[in-house]
């Protein structure tokens, strides 16, 4: 869901996505609709089917190879599977942002005994995921059609804890503003079990990059960042695992995740501890939001 106006940083941010996100002009349009929140378009080209938000936007939200639907197409989804290197056996998982259902599909396959809560604000996106991307919730997966932050607050009040939380909520521009702030991250932190893991999909290049880094650090401390097209932030309650633990956990899950395209030879070298933002970088808050920041107010 769109909050505020972050368009002033988008040209730089979108440039980082274009190498893998641009759609061929010849792609066949399979479906289009205007939901309450966005324009949803489904296109297919050369056996790859994609969902995007907005007719004129080049960026794709979800893509699926039709003859191998389980294989992860986007680098960022493969990097999100790196969360299992921080906890190889999560029992309860929260995913905020459904898209075509790529992440819950992958986690259902890799962790069939895990309980998965997937939250998507737009019922139209859920319908498209079912109809055009073959998404089918497993017996231990539940879909919630509501705002992800509202859901997180409710689970926090109920004392629910998750071993793994994945943040992948985007509109046609970027992450909704109310899911970028310190207050939201504190709500997510309250949901993490001891040694619970958070994975967040963000842009690799934008005017918000340092502010996002400072805000995550303020709430969680040190975190890993993986960059390939996008940046994926990975962290664990109680502190980051060292390289040896990452390697051991990678070995534990390799047979399950490698067939999806997330093998350890590709994934492990991407791990690095984020650092280098200016010391006094402002923290994003509900009152001092990205739009206030970028507009100079």
List residues with catalytic annotation. 168
Residue-by-residue DSSP string for the chain: ---S--GGGHHHHHHHHHHHHPPPTTPEEEEEEE-SS-EEEEEEETTEEEEEESSS----SEEEETTSTTS--SHHHHHHGGGGGT-S--SEEEEE--TTSHHHHHHHHH-TTSEEEEE-S-HHHHHHHHHHH-----TTEEEE-S-HHHHHHHHHHHT--EEEEEE----SSSS-GGGSSHHHHHHHHTTEEEEEEEEEEEESS-TTHHHHHHHHHHHH-S-EEEEESEEEEEEETT----HHHHHHHHHHHHHHHGGGT--HHHHGGG-EE-----TTPPPP-SSS-HHHHHHT-
Residue 227: how many other CB atoms lie within 10 Å:
17
First to last CA, the chain: 23
In this structure, are residues 168 and 201 in contact, taking their beta carbons and an 8 Å threshold?
Answer: yes
C-alpha 236/C-alpha 13 separation (Å) is 26
C-alpha 33/C-alpha 242 separation (Å) is 46
């Amino acid at each position: 869901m769109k909050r505020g106006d972050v368009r002033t940083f988008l040209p730089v941010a979108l440039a980082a996505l274009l190498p893998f996100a641009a759609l061929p002009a010849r792609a066949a349009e399979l479906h289009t609709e205007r939901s309450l929140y966005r324009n949803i378009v489904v296109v297919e080209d050369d056996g790859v089917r994609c969902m995007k938000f907005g007719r004129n936007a080049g960026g794709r939200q979800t893509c699926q190879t039709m003859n191998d639907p389980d294989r992860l197409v986007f680098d960022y989804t493969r990097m999100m599977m790196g969360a299992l290197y921080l906890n190889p056996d999560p029992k309860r998982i929260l995913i905020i942002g459904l898209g075509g259902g790529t992440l819950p599909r992958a986690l259902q396959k890799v962790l069939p005994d895990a309980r998965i809560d997937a939250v998507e604000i737009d019922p139209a996106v859920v319908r498209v995921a079912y109809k055009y991307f073959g998404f089918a919730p497993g017996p231990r997966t539940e879909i919630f059609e509501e705002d992800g932050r509202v859901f997180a607050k409710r689970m926090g009040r109920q004392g629910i804890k998750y071993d793994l939380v994945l943040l992948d909520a985007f509109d046609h521009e970027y992450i909704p503003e109310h899911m970028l702030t310190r207050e939201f991250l504190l709500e997510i932190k309250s949901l993490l079990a001891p040694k619970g893991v958070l994975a967040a999909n963000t842009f690799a290049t934008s005017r918000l990059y340092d502010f996002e880094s400072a805000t995550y650090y303020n709430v969680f401390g040190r975190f890993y960042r993986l960059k390939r097209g996008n940046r994926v932030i990975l962290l664990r309650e109680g502190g980051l695992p060292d390289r040896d633990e990452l390697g051991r956990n990678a070995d534990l899950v390799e047979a399950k995740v490698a067939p999806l395209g997330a093998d350890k030879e590709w994934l492990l070298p991407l791990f690095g501890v984020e650092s280098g933002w200016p010391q006094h970088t402002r923290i994003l808050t509900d009152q001092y939001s990205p739009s206030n920041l970028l507009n100079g107010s």
